[in-house]
Amino acid sequence: MKKITIIGSGFSSLSAACYLAKAGHQVSLFEKNSTVGGRARQLKRDGFTFDMGPSWYWMPDIFDKFFADFGKVTKDYYQLDKLSPAYNIYFNEGNLTIGDSLDKIVQAFEEIEVGSGVKLEKFIAEAQDHYRIAIDKIVLRPGLSPLELVTPETITRVDRFFRTISQRVRKDFKNPKLIATLEFPVLFLGAKPNQTPSFYSFMNFADFGLGTWHPKGGMYEIVLAMEKLALSLGVNIHTNSPVDKIIVRDKKAVGISINGKDIMSDIVLSGADYHHSETLLDPPFRQYSEAYWDKKTFAPSSLLFYVGFNERIPNVEHHNLFFDSDFTKHAEEIYDNAVWPSDPLFYANFPSISDPSMAPENCETGFFLIPIAPDLEDNENLREAYFDKIMDRFEDKIGKNVRDSIIFKESFCVKDFKETYNSYKGNAYGMANTLMQTAFLRPKLKSSRVQNLYFTGQLTVPGPGVPPALISGKIVADLISKK
């Protein structure tokens, strides 16, 4: 039995805490904010409930596996519903509704491009094959060596690590709407589709094959579930506890310090942003330089709005993508030439459409997200200008003026990501999964400079997203327990 302190309470920290407690360790978790869940915080206001971060529940099998590892099932904690339709995409001309089954999606593709239905079935079968290899063979490996990627399955598919998802999609599909639809899922990995290996088409299987789900009450229900599980396993959870130092003696992590109070332990594990975690060490103990971090491709930051409407919003679904502008230009403005985007794509979420518990009667809970480059200048005027920009397009697309029915609006952007989560450059969801930032090429789970010091979360393996965070916690817990 070891005494283990964990920094942060995002999904990766909560996951690691559960596995480590189950393995018999004495685990204490310290979170700087007043609630647990990291980027998946909840905002409740005037009867409206908002998930402040993640809103897409994809890969239900990963959540099921997590709870099964503790002899539980998901529905012990929350009610999970498959969304039908899964989501809606607005284009310049018309829209595409993604149904809740592959058959329905094949039919919708066929209506846009003759012959694309059969190609889609083939593409998703290949994506399913990638998903099986990724989940069963690769994703649980700790990223220690390139050999982890070498399996009988990957050797015969090695081209798929060097060809990009953009190339693969364009090989079979010509209509720009279908191309945009099939390139969308890898945006969750944080990089441009033309820099993401085609092997990552497993995200397309997650999308069209496994579907889009909703935990009743919102994504925060997952956080509450994991917190309950952690407490039942004996984890001590401390909120309002910003860690200001990782204490090192004889090149060994021996504890943490919070407001001048030292808390000693055998092992320290940080689930806070990796870059920030290393700043809690004296410089000689940091593995990665500022130049290293600066060169990395980070997932975008975001400008977010949480909006309470005093009427129902027509012509929208639970999840809506507004792809009615030039994605290539927007992507350049995020990744190549970091500036505020001229005409951004955006995402709008109305969870109260399928879950009335999330808004007062005859009202709508609205969440708007604009992906932007990390570290951009952030001020109220810019935020307001962008709200107006997307509202013009939004109202035009849904055919109704809804600005007058806004009863409140809160925003969250680069500055808030930095202040609230100690996020590097205000990134929203970690370090991107490009070819050169995959698996063993990501920052390591175990410190090479300080013994008994470990890291988890979206800047290490496997990468951004809630399911990967659950997996990251499991892998690091295994690494610690095997020590």
Residue type (1 letter), 274: Y
CA–CA distance, 175 with 230 (Å, rounded to integer): 48
Q: How far is CA 15 from CA 22, 168, 295, 373, in A?
A: 11, 34, 29, 29
C-beta of 36: minimal distance to ligand FAD in Å? 7
User: Is 119 or 288 the residue whose CB approaches ligand FAD more closely?
Assistant: 288
User: Is 32 or 425 the residue whose CB approaches ligand FAD more closely?
Assistant: 32
Burial 209-232 (b: 16+ CB within 10 A, else e): bbbbbbbebbbbbbbbbbbebbee
User: Is 433 or 452 the residue whose CB approaches ligand FAD more closely?
Assistant: 433
User: Is 239 or 289 the residue whose CB approaches ligand FAD more closely?
Assistant: 239
User: Is 345 or 466 the residue whose CB approaches ligand FAD more closely?
Assistant: 466
User: Is 173 or 417 the residue whose CB approaches ligand FAD more closely?
Assistant: 417
C-beta of 429: minimal distance to ligand FAD in Å? 4
C-beta of 119: minimal distance to ligand FAD in Å? 27
Within 10 Å of residue 88's Cβ, how many Cβ atoms? 19
8 A C-beta contact, residue 278 and residue 71 = no
CA–CA distance, 22 with 177 (Å, rounded to integer): 47
Task: List interacting residues with ligand FAD (CB under 6 A).
Answer: 7-13, 30-33, 38-40, 53-56, 242-243, 271-272, 276, 302, 304, 369, 421-422, 428-430, 457-458, 464-466, 469
Query: Is 213 in a helix, a strand, or coil?
Result: strand
CA–CA distance, 146 with 378 (Å, rounded to integer): 39
C-beta of 156: minimal distance to ligand FAD in Å? 30
Per the structure block, which two tokens stand in for 34?
A: 């007043």
C-beta of 184: minimal distance to ligand FAD in Å? 12
Phi, psi of 442 (to 5 degrees): -95, 160
Within 10 Å of residue 250's Cβ, how many Cβ atoms? 6
The two beta strands, 3-7 and 26-30, are parallel
Per the structure block, which two tokens stand in for 471?
A: 């997996």
Query: Is 228 in a helix, a strand, or coil?
Result: helix
C-beta of 162: minimal distance to ligand FAD in Å? 26
Burial 18-32 (b: 16+ CB within 10 A, else e): bbbbbbebbbbbbbb
User: Is 40 or 106 the residue whose CB approaches ligand FAD more closely?
Assistant: 40
C-beta of 310: minimal distance to ligand FAD in Å? 25
8 A C-beta contact, residue 431 and residue 464 = yes
User: Is 61 or 311 the residue whose CB approaches ligand FAD more closely?
Assistant: 61
C-beta of 117: minimal distance to ligand FAD in Å? 28
